[in-house]
Structure 1
Amino acid sequence: MNGTTGSTSTTAHASTTANASPADPRVLVVGSGPTGLLLAGDLAAAGVPVTVLEKRPHGISNLSRAFVLHARTLEQLDARGLAEDLEAVGRPLDRLRLFGRLTVDLAALPSRFNHLLVLPQYEVEKVLERRALEAGADFRYETEVTGLTQDADGVTVAAGGPGGRARTLRAGYVVGTDGMRSAVRDAIGLPFPGRSVIRSVVLADVRLAEEPPALLTVNAVGDAFAFLAPFGDGYHRVIGWHRGRNVPDGEPLDLAEVKEITRLALGRDYGMHDARWLSRFHSDERQVPAYRSGRVFLAGDAAHVHTPAGGQGMNTGLQDAANLSWKLAAVVSGHAGPELLDSYQAERHPVGRAVLRSSGGIVRLAMAKRPWTLAARAALTAFLGAVGPARREVAGRITGVGFRYPAPRGAHRLTGTRVPDVALAGGGRLHEALRGGRFVLITPEPYEGGRGDRLAVAHWAGERRVTVLVRPDGYVAWAADSAGPAEIGAAVTAHVGG
């Protein structure tokens, strides 16, 4: 199924039939959360006609669970000129506490964003939505996917529009970014194996009479876990869980229960009052086996879900979008063959699997209760506290800067690695050169093969001799310790296109 252009179909009911026309989008993005918004903005900025389908009415919801942007995501946003706006409204935190005693120092990260940024998901969505609209993405709200069929030339999507009106849309490719209960994933018949890890997690937005001592307050004691994060508008989000309170999601929730769990986990409830929202949910660990089925792709929570530990959920989805968007744009515009799209599965599925393992491991160790699990946590905490390389590995995994993508056999050692925001000759930096979805060739020697809005040529600010071709998502596509114009030209043709 992965990497093939076969035929996938579901029963689809529609009152009209749509044929491809100049007005049809080349890509349909289903879901307007952060992952879908970044993807749509990238495609529209690259000149690819893109339509976003969202089953909800238009509006940015404050009912989000994500509150953290990590370094690698901030780097991706900086390469789109968006990080500065978000840094202005968020609050940086240079330390991440795990298991109560272990502190991960983010100030040592090899990134200009050597911190995590605390801000609610809706602030990220505002910035991404504005960018997508300005770039020309078409949004259709109150439109829910009910089925799809695909063939060698494209995908036909059946949807219910406002007022229950049925319609069909035709596109070259479809990307499902429509969350854990993805209609796109169901339509292509892919399973979502995994299990519920934590049941009856409580959520509340509350005012506090006392300000917590830390920007992010999190702890687990015995059977209770609690997390506090500020919205920035006078309210705090509370996420809590008690091992002994295993009830259905629909069970009524009141502020007294939230306060009790918080007191058990944090030692006090900080005078919680005026709850404006209360809810329950359960936290699953699941991953779809294939991120691609023919012309249909899955990203974000439609492809993987995991516990909130480490704040990696929204970040992983945004990085999925950054990986897929430039590849779709290159294929749709004819600058690359469709085989490039196979690399999305090869590169992002292992990252999703690693995030499931790390976030799940954090939760299990944080909630350790049996003597042997407590001993394992104590041993791991002591090891990480004493061994710098291991601690840096943990920080790199949680923040995303430590991941690299697979490289072909015999490739240069840098191929597939992330390139930091290096300084370039003339006073610029890499993230600025990447803006516009371009490749960037960084070379110590003159090279006249720039290709307009698809390839920028830059030179190292220092004395480095290696030549690297950086992909639009900031990873090395090709590198050589020394290369002449002919070798560079061949690499550019192979990766950037003619």
Structure 2
Amino acid sequence: MKTVVVGAGPTGLLLAGDLAAAGVEVTVLERRSTDSNLTRAFGVHARTMEHLDARGLADELVATGQPVSKLRLFNSLKVDLGTLPSRFPYLLITPQYNVEKLLEQRALDLGARIVRGVTVTGLEPGAVLADGDTYEADTVVGADGVHSAVREAIGMPFPGKAVLRSIMLADVRLTDAPSDVLAVNSVGDAFAFVAPFGDGWFRVFAWDQRSQQPDSAPLDLDEVRDVTRRALGTDFGMKEARWLSRFHSDERQVPHYRQGDVFLAGDAAHVHSPAGGQGMNTGLQDAANLSWKLAAVAQGWAPEGLLDTYQSERHPVGELVLRSSGGLIRLAMLHSRAARAGRDLLGGALLHVPTIMRKAAGTVSGIGIDYPHAPRQPDLTLRGGARLYELLRAGRHVLLAPSAPAGYDDRLVHALNDRFVLVRPDGHTAWAGTERDLPVALRRHLGPPR
């Protein structure tokens, strides 16, 4: 089986690495000829960190960034991530290119082929066409962003609308860095967000309702300074911009993540406002859900209908992210002072209710997101000291049970445990039950034994 992944962003690279690890021949096609550090994503949430932990990458990524255990919204609302039931009870602030660097090296080490500087021009049965060349493909995954060539090639609609226009981006140096790792606030007609690269440069997102310009309009540092001062009360001595640009934010989602042997993931399948830092995280979680299912098909043991569960499990998550990020951005853009005061008063009261705080933290971090009949499985320390997520690095199911069943050693890892639990490669529970039901469960989830 040959797979072509279009797009060498985080989503495509994680997927390619997983497929290569499973013995699948995979080629990644990327339009950019060189890497770029001009990225929009800056936060890696707890559930994404768990997926990276299951690939042996989390600890190395942690060393590149700064953890934030409390998110402050609108100056007064705080979401506490410190109590998350995870090894990573925080948001890791690190630029997207650090994530890409780790995932790319892993994919290359495992045998994936990455071809840069090529533009996909179409699909035909069993192949991807790019710049006059033909790449054989039994399966194609479009992870090529909001302007996806794969999505266009299959004629998949991308309904939705623009929610914010003329968002300003700037990479700057600051004379006085924010006291918190993140600085974010809105005052109705202005919004600003400041985050560190970790190398002395800071990324600024700013939005000004008073000045709605097209994406192509020139941008100067004085405009960014002005909006930042209005939203945050200071511009932190902003100086020396190395990059300035504008973009607009849409809310869109395809109706189907799969069409035959073509799949869409990440921004090719869904885009939304930057509020909550969900974009890169949702794409990486798409990839973690899809990769092991494609590998199971390639290896010949996939149960019937397994690939269809990518749509049934991930499409509702995309809908949830659109709702939650859209709700946050609309709360941030409340115009009247009275409405903002009511938002802060009511929101502050609700976030003091433990169950609501846990729900909010679980949603934004991804820790609270389960699939139907497949809840997230938290990490466990097992007999002998190994952790469950370390065992998941084999890319196979993990069976927690008193003894190992015969005939499945090519599809699962066994770990001693008093209970019977089957954990999927993406860290979700496939089944939990009794020894009597184990043979039926294994056949249902892993096919017949050898």
- Whether TM-score is above 0.5 comes out as yes
- Residue 8 of structure 2, aligned match among 32, 40, 43: 32
- Report the alpha carbon displacement of residue 97 of structure 1 after superposing the two structures with TM: 1.2
1:353 maps to what in 2?
Answer: 319
Paired residue type of 1:65: R
Deviates most, 384-393 or 62-71: 384-393
1:18 maps to what in 2?
Answer: none
CA distance in 2: counterparts of 1:179 and 1:257, whole angstroms: 29
CA distance in 2: counterparts of 1:108 and 1:299, whole angstroms: 30
SS of residue paired to 2:63: helix
CA distance in 2: counterparts of 1:337 and 1:268, whole angstroms: 57
* Contact residue 450 and residue 456 of structure 1 kept, 8 A: no
Question: For the structure 1 residues 255 and 381, does the alpha-carbon distance in structure 2 shift closer, same or farther, using more than 3 Å as the test?
Answer: same
Q: Aligned runs of 1:59-458 on 2, under 5 Å?
A: 59-150=34-125, 155-160=126-131, 166-337=132-303, 339-370=305-336, 373-374=339-340, 377-378=343-344, 380-407=346-373, 416-443=374-401, 445-449=402-406, 451-458=408-415
- Report the alpha carbon displacement of residue 489 of structure 1 after superposing the two structures with TM: 2.3
Paired residue type of 2:225: K
TM-score, L = length of structure 1: 0.88
CA distance in 1: counterparts of 2:47 and 2:115, whole angstroms: 30
Question: For the structure 1 residues 477 and 52, does the alpha-carbon distance in structure 2 shift closer, same or farther, using more than 3 Å as the test?
Answer: same
Paired residue type of 2:118: T
* Contact residue 173 and residue 295 of structure 1 kept, 8 A: yes
- Residue 475 of structure 1, aligned match among 415, 428, 447: 428
Paired residue type of 2:432: A
Paired residue type of 1:209: T
Question: For the structure 1 residues 456 and 256, does the alpha-carbon distance in structure 2 shift closer, same or farther, using more than 3 Å as the test?
Answer: same
* Contact residue 377 and residue 427 of structure 2 kept, 8 A: yes
CA distance in 2: counterparts of 1:211 and 1:91, whole angstroms: 14
Paired residue type of 2:216: G
CA deviations over 1:219-256 (Å, ceiling 9, x no partner): 11131100001011110000000111111000000000
Paired residue type of 2:40: R
CA distance in 2: counterparts of 1:380 and 1:319, whole angstroms: 32
CA distance in 1: counterparts of 2:410 and 2:178, whole angstroms: 48
- Report the alpha carbon displacement of residue 328 of structure 1 after superposing the two structures with TM: 0.2
Question: For the structure 1 residues 169 and 178, does the alpha-carbon distance in structure 2 shift closer, same or farther, using more than 3 Å as the test?
Answer: same
- Report the alpha carbon displacement of residue 379 of structure 1 after superposing the two structures with TM: 5.1
- Report the alpha carbon displacement of residue 453 of structure 1 after superposing the two structures with TM: 4.5
CA-based RMSD of the aligned residues comes to 1.4
Paired residue type of 2:327: G
CA distance in 2: counterparts of 1:385 and 1:308, whole angstroms: 21
Deviates most, 233-242 or 330-339: 330-339
Question: For the structure 1 residues 374 and 221, does the alpha-carbon distance in structure 2 shift closer, same or farther, using more than 3 Å as the test?
Answer: closer
CA deviations over 1:88-122 (Å, ceiling 9, x no partner): 11111111112321111111001010111000000
* Contact residue 175 and residue 298 of structure 1 kept, 8 A: yes
CA deviations over 1:395-453 (Å, ceiling 9, x no partner): 1010001011112xxxxxxxx1101111111111100111121100112x323437334
Paired residue type of 2:412: L
Deviates most, 377-386 or 301-310: 377-386
SS of residue paired to 1:215: coil
Paired residue type of 2:221: L
CA distance in 1: counterparts of 2:206 and 2:260, whole angstroms: 40
CA distance in 2: counterparts of 1:271 and 1:335, whole angstroms: 59
1:21 maps to what in 2?
Answer: none
TM-score, L = length of structure 2: 0.97
CA distance in 2: counterparts of 1:307 and 1:197, whole angstroms: 7
Instruction: Among all aligned residue pairs of Structure 1 and Structure 2, give the percentage whose two residues are the same amino acid.
Output: 59
* Contact residue 160 and residue 251 of structure 2 kept, 8 A: yes
CA distance in 2: counterparts of 1:195 and 1:125, whole angstroms: 29
CA distance in 1: counterparts of 2:447 and 2:338, whole angstroms: 56
Paired residue type of 2:219: L
1:9 maps to what in 2?
Answer: none
CA distance in 1: counterparts of 2:153 and 2:160, whole angstroms: 19
1:496 maps to what in 2?
Answer: 446
- Report the alpha carbon displacement of residue 332 of structure 1 after superposing the two structures with TM: 1.3
CA distance in 2: counterparts of 1:372 and 1:289, whole angstroms: 38
1:16 maps to what in 2?
Answer: none
CA distance in 1: counterparts of 2:208 and 2:392, whole angstroms: 46
SS of residue paired to 2:307: helix
Paired residue type of 2:380: V
CA deviations over 1:365-393 (Å, ceiling 9, x no partner): 12212467436523541342331101110
- Report the alpha carbon displacement of residue 493 of structure 1 after superposing the two structures with TM: 2.4
- Report the alpha carbon displacement of residue 211 of structure 1 after superposing the two structures with TM: 1.5
How many pairs were matched up? Answer: 448
CA distance in 1: counterparts of 2:193 and 2:304, whole angstroms: 44
- Report the alpha carbon displacement of residue 337 of structure 1 after superposing the two structures with TM: 4.3
CA distance in 1: counterparts of 2:392 and 2:447, whole angstroms: 17
* Contact residue 478 and residue 491 of structure 1 kept, 8 A: yes
* Contact residue 411 and residue 446 of structure 2 kept, 8 A: yes
Paired residue type of 2:121: T
In structure 2, the gaps of 5 or more residues are: none
* Contact residue 265 and residue 286 of structure 2 kept, 8 A: yes
CA distance in 2: counterparts of 1:218 and 1:353, whole angstroms: 25
